[in-house]
Amino acid sequence: MSKPLNSATLNSIVARVTDRIAARSRDSRSAYLARLEAASATPRREKLGCANLAHAFAACSATDKEGLRGGVKPSIGIVTAFNDMLSAHQPYERYPAVIKEVVRQAGGVAQVAGGVPAMCDGVTQGYEGMELSLFSRDVIALATGVALSHATFDGALCLGICDKIVPGLMIGALSFGHLPTIFVPAGPMPSGLSNADKAKARQLYAQGKVGREELLEAESQSYHAPGTCTFYGTANTNQMLMEIMGLHLPGASFVNPNTPLREALTEEAARRIVAMTQPGGGAPIGRIVDERAMVNGIVGLLATGGSTNHTLHIPAIAAAAGIQLNWEDFSDLSAAVPLLARVYPNGSADVNRFHAAGGMPFVIGQLLDAGLLHADVATVWGDGGLEAYRAMPEVSDGGALSWRAQPTEQSGDPSVVATVAAPFAAEGGLRVLTGNLGRGVIKVSAVKAEHRVVEAPARVFDSQEGVQAAFRAGELDRDVIVVVRYQGPGANGMPELHKLTPPLGVLQDKGFKVALVTDGRMSGASGKVPAAIHVTPEVKGGGPLGRVRDGDVLRLDAEAGTLDALVDAAEWDSRGAPPPASEDAGHGCGRELFGLFRNAVSGAESGASVFGLLGR
């Protein structure tokens, strides 16, 4: 019998869930590690033929060419998601040149191995392009695989931040799990118009009380500079995940772009990846991402009230490492993990205030001291496990990078970052719902207690445009549970329905009991209206959500974890799903290119991926 992965001081629920995942994944993880070992046993550049090797360094400088020709200097592949339309990724334009020079000084050679697409969900939100968004994650994984397939690299640096980009890079990098790999962030933009004032402007626009010009001005003051959006949505949850899983340098997630500290951290990541290529220099990514690291990631998601999109992404990432997760793992851990962060939409603060209050180093320290994280994990920072991630980076006037230990008694702003002893909530921010409508997830960290149980008649739609039209016509001014069906991955790619947040928020503010139930997704920025999302099986696959009719009384109970139609059982069982209102959702804006994906995608609980369980 194998030794359990947990340690003596670990919380019993965290230990039990970790061991359950390890047992469930025993065969698939073993097969993955066997492939990793086989790849590690084969030297990389040494196996290339002369013509292959000459192609690999043909465009290099004489110095770099000599380093690669001799097979002695480590070769680092840069996989970049740079584009200058996506604000979070615009800073990456300068990174390759900086990295190449620092790697050269450290005794290696760096090359851009390839680029991956990086779409902005903020641009495509509410439009046809959003139906490509989730599938872009798997395209990014494929592009990462293409970039690293040249078999000339000893290590990799992944440059990516936003919603589908980091999960896609992770999935692709894990297929080359024998390579040491570091993720290099670029940080959030400085604070602009507050997220609360932005949300208010959106609701006023939805009510027709301000015009397009006023709304555009508010949005422009909010999204105003290079860097990630400052709310705690999927992009910033990605950064939390990379740090708590040990794939960033300690404290690197939320340092603003184009600052001395950001530059110093990028340069240190370049030096560190060279060191990791040396014998005993560090673990490859396939070893770092084990069952313990995945559980640490889920704990971080719950403790910070992160994006619901990660109930899709984390299982898909785990599968790429041969690890099998399900929503019960999230649910069981949520009962043990307290909510330690109040960052918009779970509060008024943005990620810059979160970081200034102690951010990830403080949260990690609190969770470690409470036995809620595995401390004895491999990280890109080397020996010491996750304990090294308690410290906050800083840079001196002379440019020297160092790390400062964080206080343990209280954060710099207890209204934004709490302690385990006095959390914002005793349980995590995500819950699983189960009932005769299927299984779904709900983000409760931003939903007030009085809104967490809604029992009301249903109004059924096949698109978010239909919901918005009904809202404008005043048809939803009542207690209502809005059902939006045919939004699953197999139907139309599972777009986010973020544009429903303002009108539903208006209805809730009027005093109505309001909720959303859908087999689609909501943005990580969505919050105050209870939303049962990712409902699976999806309607296109015969899911019971398709049986709901206008006027059926539904009950969403986030406290009890139930999601039911209160319909006579015989009547319920006699129903099927009517066809979608539109049969032409697969054309236009590139959607016809993804028909193969829609027909091959897995269900939401297993990650809504076209890859299936990669580790099996």
How many structural domains does the chain have? 2
Find the domain containing 455 and state its range: 430-584
524 and 454 within one domain: yes
Residue owning tokens 């969403």: 556
Question: Do the Cβ atoms of 604 and 488 come closer than 8 Å?
Answer: yes
Angstrom distance (rounded) from CA 474 to CA 208 = 12
% of the chain with per-residue pLDDT over 70 = 96
pLDDT score of 118: 95
Give the CA diameter of the chain: 78
Domain final residue, candidates 388, 405, 422: 405
Residues 6+ apart with CB under 8 A from 234: 121, 162, 163, 307, 309, 310, 523, 524
396 and 436 within one domain: no
Closest by Cα among 519, 515, 520 to 476: 515
266 and 149 within one domain: yes
Tokens coding 466 = 């239909």
Q: Is residue 419 part of a domain?
A: no
Label residue 143 by pLDDT band (50, 70, 90): very high
Closest by Cα among 535, 339, 561, 336 to 437: 535
Angstrom distance (rounded) from CA 296 to CA 318 = 12
pLDDT score of 536: 96
Tokens coding 28 = 């698939």
pLDDT digits (tens, 9 = 90+) for 235-266: 999 999 999 999 999 999 999 999 999 999 99
357 and 500 within one domain: no
Angstrom distance (rounded) from CA 411 to CA 420 = 11
pLDDT digits (tens, 9 = 90+) for 350-404: 999 999 999 999 999 999 999 999 999 999 998 889 999 999 999 999 889 999 9
Question: Do the Cβ atoms of 439 and 459 come closer than 8 Å?
Answer: no
Label residue 1 by pLDDT band (50, 70, 90): very low
Q: Is residue 234 part of a domain?
A: yes
What is the phi/psi pair of residue 181, to 5°? -145, 135
pLDDT score of 612: 72
pLDDT digits (tens, 9 = 90+) for 509-530: 999 999 999 999 987 556 789 9
Q: Is the peptide bond before 503 cis (omega within 30 degrees of 0)?
A: no
Q: Which long-range contacts (CB under 8 A, 24 or more apart) does 449-453 make?
A: 451/508, 451/513, 451/528, 451/529, 451/530, 452/530, 452/557, 452/558, 452/559, 453/555, 453/556, 453/557, 453/558, 453/559, 453/560
Q: Is residue 270 part of a domain?
A: yes
436 and 392 within one domain: no
Question: Do the Cβ atoms of 470 and 460 come closer than 8 Å?
Answer: no
Task: Give yes or no for residue 455 having a pLDDT over 80.
Answer: yes
259 and 131 within one domain: yes
pLDDT score of 524: 59
> Taking residues 470-492, what's their average pLDDT?
96
pLDDT score of 616: 42
pLDDT score of 151: 86
439 and 370 within one domain: no
pTM (2 decimals)?
0.94
The runs of H, that is alpha helices, within 119-211 are 121-124, 133-148, 165-174, 195-206
Closest by Cα among 496, 284, 271, 260 to 395: 260
Tokens coding 504 = 């539903």
Q: Is residue 510 part of a domain?
A: yes
pLDDT score of 453: 97
pLDDT digits (tens, 9 = 90+) for 221-230: 988 999 999 9
For residue 570, the domain's CATH number is 3.50.30.80
Pick 61 or 523 by higher pLDDT: 61
Residues 6+ apart with CB under 8 A from 593: none
Task: Give yes or no for residue 6 having a pLDDT over 80.
Answer: no
pLDDT digits (tens, 9 = 90+) for 340-351: 999 998 888 999
Please report, for the chain, how many H helices and E strands are present, in that order: 23, 14
Label residue 583 by pLDDT band (50, 70, 90): low
Q: Is residue 309 part of a domain?
A: yes
103 and 181 within one domain: yes
Q: Is residue 323 part of a domain?
A: yes
pLDDT score of 588: 83
Q: Count the neighbouring beta carbons within 10 Å of the beta carbon of residue 422.
A: 10
List the single range of 159-163, 202-206, 326-330 with lowest mean pLDDT. 202-206
Residue owning tokens 């997830």: 441
Domain final residue, candidates 390, 405, 420: 405
Positive or negative torsion for Cα 528, 533, 539, 540 = positive
Radius of gyration of the chain (CA): 24
List the single range of 131-135, 202-206, 503-507, 545-549 with lowest mean pLDDT. 202-206
Supply the mean pLDDT for the chain: 92
> b/e string for 115-132 if b means 16 or more Cβ within 10 A?
bbebbbbbebbeebbbbb
Domain final residue, candidates 341, 371, 405: 405
As to burial, measured by CB atoms within 10 angstroms (0-12 exposed, 13-18 middle, 19+ buried), residue 211 is exposed
Residue owning tokens 């680092």: 76
Question: Do the Cβ atoms of 557 and 447 come closer than 8 Å?
Answer: no
447 and 394 within one domain: no
Tokens coding 29 = 């993880």
Closest by Cα among 39, 19, 10, 615 to 320: 615
Which amino acid is present at 446? A
Label residue 196 by pLDDT band (50, 70, 90): confident
| DSSP per-residue string spanning 44-65 | SGGGS-HHHHHHHHTTS-HHHH
385 and 449 within one domain: no
Task: Give yes or no for residue 10 having a pLDDT over 90.
Answer: yes
Residue owning tokens 């001799």: 70
240 and 360 within one domain: yes
Label residue 321 by pLDDT band (50, 70, 90): very high
Partners of 458 in beta bridges: 481
| Binding site, annotated residues | 162, 229
Q: Count the neighbouring beta carbons within 10 Å of the beta carbon of residue 548.
A: 23
Instruction: Name the 3-class secondary structure at 181.
Output: strand
457 and 383 within one domain: no
Question: Do the Cβ atoms of 416 and 254 come closer than 8 Å?
Answer: no
Residue owning tokens 């785990």: 318
> Taking residues 74-103, what's their average pLDDT?
97
Task: Give yes or no for residue 8 having a pLDDT over 50.
Answer: no
| Binding site, annotated residues for [4Fe-4S] cluster | 162, 229
Pick 300 or 122 by higher pLDDT: 300
> Taking residues 128-153, what's their average pLDDT?
94
> Taking residues 407-436, what's their average pLDDT?
94
